[in-house]
Amino acid sequence: MSEMMWGGRFQKAEERSALDFNASVSYDCRMYKEDIAGSLAHASMLADRGIISKEDLEKITGGLLKIKKEIEEGRFAFSVELEDVHMNVEKRLTDDIGDAGARLHTARSRNDQCAADLHMYMRRHIAKLAEKLIAAEEALIGVSEKYKDVILPGYTHMQRAQPVLFAHHMMAYCAMLQRDFERLVGCYEMADASPLGACALAGTTYPTMPKETAEKLHFSKCYGNSLDAVSDRDYLLQFLSFASICMMHLSRLSEELILWSTGEFGFIELDDGYSTGSSIMPQKKNPDICELVRGKTGRVYGHLVALLTVMKGLPLAYDKDMQEDKEGVFDTIDTLRFALDIYAGMLSTMTVNGARTRAVLENDFSNATDMADYLAKKGLPFRRAHAVVGNAVAYCIENRKVLLALTMEEFKKMSPLFETDIYEVLQIENCVKNRDSYGGTGPEQVKRQQREAKKIVSRQKKLAAEWKEANAFIE
């Protein structure tokens, strides 16, 4: 007869290849803390309800804590034969304490058990990621304050458009990450629901108390439909969507940092600690880290699409396809944690070359809109002002000069509305300073953004601390 937990029904052992293919322990062992916390709560509820005895509960509790210690000390040998973390722990508990261990799985199925573990795992790791996300936001605010006076060309279509404060540019990324945080809050709330009590799919004939088990595990709610409880992977899809969007943001920033550190741009230099060299070309300093973040964005998108595809044809309730939910999610957590962590360090150590960005701006036409606005403010309809300046730019290109190098005579020829104050208006600093519209690149507006972002960060820190505390019992 088979040694498996379900051995009774079977005449012979599973084929080795089938067994290896079926097993998930190599990755779901990451949930051992959750598995043990979940079993402790379940057993405690069983005892509260008189389904198992107090003596059994004591044995189970002692046995589970001993197993946890062994795992943490690296003395627990997970076995592929036992398929997953849940059966490894349960089998070992039963070997250790006998019948009490064999009673643990009363009024429970691996379907609600593995779902509960994953819910808890997500909640705990979302709390950890929240801290990393906040650190990256703070790094963006920090670098924006450090280089508060640097002006660089703002681009549209990758063509120089209008000057912007470097700080404004960084705060745009901070705004993206702060929206990511809001999505992360949604992920946490979705993960914060207990499926325990659903059992295999239909609930149980035992007088269980799913709400009580949920409370013991610090879940703020439990599923109201047992079929949904064991079949739902929305909270993972939501997390993968959040992660995909967040990686997309980091990838766009990566792309800019890569461009800005080229010889052609020369706007920034990444710290040596976050750069790599070439094995053949001694002069090289490569932005590998940025490129990897950009590249790894692809695999995170892949995990989202993979799980959406796994789920799309699944009838209720649990299907083994759903075992495929974990690896991609775990890899996403690792990838995002690394990326955010590295970005916090890389942003705070990079050098911005304000002299270079200024030199670029002094030799281009990024102030052309300001020239058109000048005429329009003096009464010329904007469209006509646009045409005057368009001609002026063409004239300058032909005569190899910039707008600021035009003589008053030349200006007057283009439009009698020009006065000597045009030279002030076309100064790069003034192009920035005068864009004081709400959300604009003017220094006061950027300072407001920094102030507001810091307020948001402090609210986020409070929430992250609450999450950390709520999940501490699992550690």
Looking at the Cβ atoms of 201 and 470, the one nearer to ligand ARG is 201
110-118, 264-272, 344-352, 424-432 -> range binding ligand ARG (CB under 6 A): 110-118
Smallest gap from Cβ 114 to ligand ARG, in A, equals: 4
Give 322 or 402: the residue with its C-beta nearer to ligand ARG: 322
Give residue 419's Cα distance to chain centre: 52
Residue 335 near ligand ARG by CB under 6 A: no
Using CB under 6 A as the binding rule, the residues of this chain from 383 to 412 that contact ligand ARG are: none
Count of residues of this chain found to bind ligand ARG when the rule CB under 6 A is applied: 10
Identify each DSSP E strand in 184-237 by its residue range. none
Report d(CA 387, CA 412) in Å as an integer: 15
CB of 84 to ligand ARG, least distance (A): 4
Question: Which residues pair with residue 199 across a beta bridge?
Answer: none
> With respect to ligand ARG, which residue has the nearer C-beta, 34 or 84?
84
**Separation of alpha carbons 436 and 441, rounded Å:** 7
Beta strands in 173-317 (DSSP E): 268-269
Q: How far is the CB of 104 from ligand ARG (least distance, A)?
A: 16
- Report the alpha-carbon distance of residue 446 to residue 426 in Å, rounded: 21
Q: Under the criterion CB under 6 A, does residue 111 sit at the interface with ligand ARG?
A: yes
Q: Which residues between 13 and 32 bind ligand ARG (CB under 6 A)?
A: 24, 28
The phi, psi pair for 151, rounded to 5°, reads -110, 135
Residue in 86, 249, 278, 386 annotated catalytic: 278
Q: How far is the CB of 110 from ligand ARG (least distance, A)?
A: 4
CA 47 to CA 50: how far, in whole Å? 5
The string over 38-73, giving b where at least 16 C-beta atoms fall within 10 Å of a residue's C-beta and e elsewhere, is: bbbbbbbbbbbeebbeeebbebbbebbeebbeebee
Q: Is 88 in the site for ligand ARG (CB under 6 A)?
A: no
User: Which segment (54-62, 162-170, 259-267, 314-322) binds ligand ARG by CB under 6 A?
Assistant: 314-322
Q: Does residue number 194 form part of the binding site for ligand ARG (CB under 6 A)?
A: no
Does 178 engage in binding with ligand ARG (CB under 6 A)?
no
Asked whether position 39 contacts ligand ARG by CB under 6 A, the answer is no
Instruction: Select the residue interacting with ligand ARG from 162, 244, 254, 323 (CB under 6 A).
Output: 323
Neighbouring C-alpha atoms within 13 Å toward the C-beta of 15: 3
CB of 118 to ligand ARG, least distance (A): 8
Out of 82, 89, 114, 347, name the contact with ligand ARG by CB under 6 A. 114
For ligand ARG, give the closer residue by CB, 143 or 322: 322
**Contact (CB, 8 A) for 191 and 396:** no
Reference 165, options 453, 436, 372; nearest CA is: 436
58 neighbors 46 (Cβ within 8 angstroms): no
User: Burial level of 231, CB count in 10 A (0-12/13-18/19+)?
Assistant: buried
By C-beta, is 22 or 241 nearer to ligand ARG? 22
Beta strands in 73-197, from DSSP E residues, in sequence order: 151-156, 159-165
**C-alpha to C-alpha distance for 246 and 335, rounded to whole angstroms:** 11
Contact present, 384 and 177 (Cβ < 8 Å) = no
Instruction: From the candidates 157, 279, 437, 458, give the one annotated as an active-site residue.
Output: 157
Q: Is 322 in the site for ligand ARG (CB under 6 A)?
A: yes
CB of 28 to ligand ARG, least distance (A): 6
Which residue stretch of 74-82, 209-217, 318-326, 380-388 sits at the interface with ligand ARG (rule: CB under 6 A)?
A: 318-326
Q: What is the per-residue burial (b if ≥16 Cβ within 10 Å, else e) of 323-351?
A: bbbbbbbbbbbebbbebbebbbbbbbebe
Q: Which member of 34, 35, 56, 84 binds ligand ARG (CB under 6 A)? A: 84
Q: Answer yes or no whether residue 226 interacts with ligand ARG by CB under 6 A.
A: no
Is 157 among the residues known to form the active site? yes
Nearest residue (CB) to ligand ARG, 162 versus 323: 323
Q: Least separation, in Å, of the C-beta of 27 and ligand ARG?
A: 9
> Site residues (CB under 6 A) for ligand ARG?
24, 28, 84, 110-111, 114, 318, 320, 322-323
User: Known catalytic residues?
Assistant: 157, 278
